[in-house]
Amino acid sequence: MSVRPSWGSRLGVILAVAGSAVGLGNFLRFPVQAAGNGGGAFMIPYFISLILLGIPLMWVEWTVGRYGGIFGHGTAPGVFHSLWEKSRFIKYFGVIGIFGPLVIFIYYVYIESWLLGYAWFSLTGAFQGADARSLQAFLRGYQGLENNRYFQGVGTAYLFFLLTFGANLWIISRGVVKGIEWLNRWALPLLLVFAVTIAVRVLTLGAPDPAHPDWNTIQGLGFLWNPDLAALKDAKVWLAAAGQVFFTLSVGIGVILTYASYLRREKDVILSGLTSVSTNEFAEIILGGSIVIPAAFAFFGPSQIQAIAGSGSFNLGFVTMPLIFQQISLGALFAFLWFALLFLAGLTSSISLLQPAMAFMEDEFQLPRKYAAWVTGAVTFAACHPVIFFFHRGVLDELDFWGGTFSLVLFATVEIILFAWVFGMDRAWKEMHHGAELTIPRIYKPIIQYVTPTFLILILLFWLMQEGLPVVFLKNVSAANQPYVLATRLGLTLLFFGLALMVRWAWRRRRNKGRGR
């Protein structure tokens, strides 16, 4: 058995996990969710979810990942089998931990490529002087939703997709230290510098329109943070807050588990996990909450801000923000910093989504890193094309539902029940503290065993009833789009069962070679 790689330093793994978590959700999804779900009231269920859901799951994934690494496993099928050796089937539940990241990567990398394109457009002045209607047309043309004076087809978008996909494949092929750790060591600090620079510029805008002195960034912060406590009666606000915590910390995906598997046995997971959580929350709450909504409020005022916040992350990021930057000095530079920041955040996240599949092939089939990269790259490259060419047919939304929502909650639920109840809470507590420099408060023992699993099951049930079933039964899909959605589901089914067959094949190889766990 070949020697598994390990992180070059403790800082390296913390930055890698933080880089996986710090993504588009911090700077686009979070302000939209907060502004659209009661403002400051949203933060109450958000912090409750962080304490009862996010942090416990973060510790669990760091711990089970490190534990699985002892037996040469870096992905959920092997880790789950290590936790429950007597079960013949538990490893197949772990397939979700490879399936989910791959599905998210398939559409995420395309959106990430838009950011690279828009960073270039900001420098070249491609949309300089465009009004809101023109910027919307620019985005729709770039996405291939319409042919207009800006774009004829998706040729330009496809070029930036190729560049972005190639960058991801090159970085991931270089390995854990020379690829993932190397990227996060410079990209994460740089994107935080960009974010701080933009946040400072936004917060010093004052009142851009002298006719409306109350339209300023301080009032914008008030719009985002002043609580509408009546919103707490709405179950959707609580579901939105819990969902945001899932997205922002990258828990329930399987990525942290894989990253933690490269830790040495004696390395701390408690303090390291908290450090990565703190980095992510700083990026999300302090920086993400200080850019988009305050800037939009200062330029468009209270009458339009609700509509802007409800227009979605794409409109906020690709239409509203460029429109704002055009109205300030050095606007082209700040627009470039904005899209470069989002691109780097996307890149550090997207490479983490490829790593579980890479680790699976390296650990279970002993494929050299380069070969594993080519196999993963070939499969995902082919799978990206329906997203690019049938973007307007609901393919992206379908992938996001199954890979970016359903798989996350289901995987996290299975993972924590397996860890706390099958592996055993006493053993789990001891394993979490092995090599730890910090002791977890005892209150977290019953939280991890009882509260977090219950919280997850309730989220899964309520979410399925409120949002899941309408999607499953195509309630909001037009008749014209249904064949494309069904074809996407068929492709996802084939991908899942293909991965399950690979797991079966891998375990047969292990038995034949007498490799034990």
pLDDT in tens, the chain (517 residues): 457 888 988 888 999 999 999 988 899 888 888 877 877 888 899 999 999 999 999 999 999 999 999 999 999 999 999 999 988 899 999 999 999 999 999 999 999 999 999 999 999 999 888 888 999 999 999 999 999 989 999 999 999 999 999 999 999 999 999 999 999 999 999 999 999 999 999 999 877 878 888 888 888 888 878 887 888 888 778 878 888 898 888 888 899 999 999 998 889 999 999 999 999 999 999 999 889 888 888 888 877 877 777 777 788 889 989 999 998 889 999 999 999 999 999 999 999 999 999 999 999 999 999 999 999 999 999 999 999 999 989 999 999 989 988 888 899 999 999 999 999 999 999 999 999 988 999 999 999 999 999 989 988 888 788 777 888 889 889 999 999 999 999 999 999 999 999 999 999 987 777 654 5
Task: Using alpha carbons, select from 177, 255, 179 the residue that is nearest to residue 20.
Answer: 255
Which pLDDT belongs to residue 337? 96
State CA 512 to chain mean position distance. 38
C-alpha distances in angstroms, 51 versus 208, 274, 370, 451, 511? 39, 11, 40, 11, 41
C-alpha distances in angstroms, 273 versus 85, 105, 179, 411, 485? 27, 23, 21, 19, 38
Q: Which residue do the tokens 């050796």 mark?
A: 85
Q: Write the DSSP symbol of residue 263.
A: S
Which pLDDT belongs to residue 343? 97
Q: Return the SS3 of 39.
A: strand
Region of residue 511 (left: phi > 0; alpha: psi -120 to 50; beta: else) = alpha
Task: Using alpha carbons, select from 416, 335, 393 the residue that is nearest to residue 64.
Answer: 416
Which pLDDT belongs to residue 401? 87
Which pLDDT belongs to residue 515? 52
Contact between residue 37 and residue 237 where contact means Cβ atoms under 8 Å apart: yes
Contact between residue 5 and residue 324 where contact means Cβ atoms under 8 Å apart: no
Q: Which residue do the tokens 């050095």 mark?
A: 330
Q: Which residues pair with 108 in a beta bridge?
A: none
Question: Residue length, the chain?
Answer: 517
Q: Write the DSSP symbol of residue 498.
A: H
Distance CA 472, CA 489 (A): 10
Q: 461: how many CB neighbours lie within 10 A of its CB?
A: 11
- To the nearest 10 degrees (0 to 180), the angle between helices 407-417 and 452-463 is 150
Sign of the CA dihedral running 71, 73, 77, 80: positive
Contact between residue 515 and residue 1 where contact means Cβ atoms under 8 Å apart: yes
Contact between residue 254 and residue 100 where contact means Cβ atoms under 8 Å apart: yes
Residue 121, H or E segment: helix 96-124
Contact between residue 29 and residue 292 where contact means Cβ atoms under 8 Å apart: no
* DSSP string across 349-386: HHHHHHHHHHHHHHHHH---HHHHHHHHHHHHHHHHHH
State CA 235 to chain mean position distance. 23
Q: Domains in the chain, start-ordered, CATH in brackets?
A: 10-511 (1.20.1740)
Helices (H) and strands (E) in the chain, counts: 28, 0
HSE, CB side, 13 Å, CA atoms: give it for residue 458. Answer: 13
Distance CA 75, CA 82 (A): 11
Q: What are phi and psi of 366, to 5 degrees?
A: 55, 35
Distance CA 107, CA 81 (A): 30
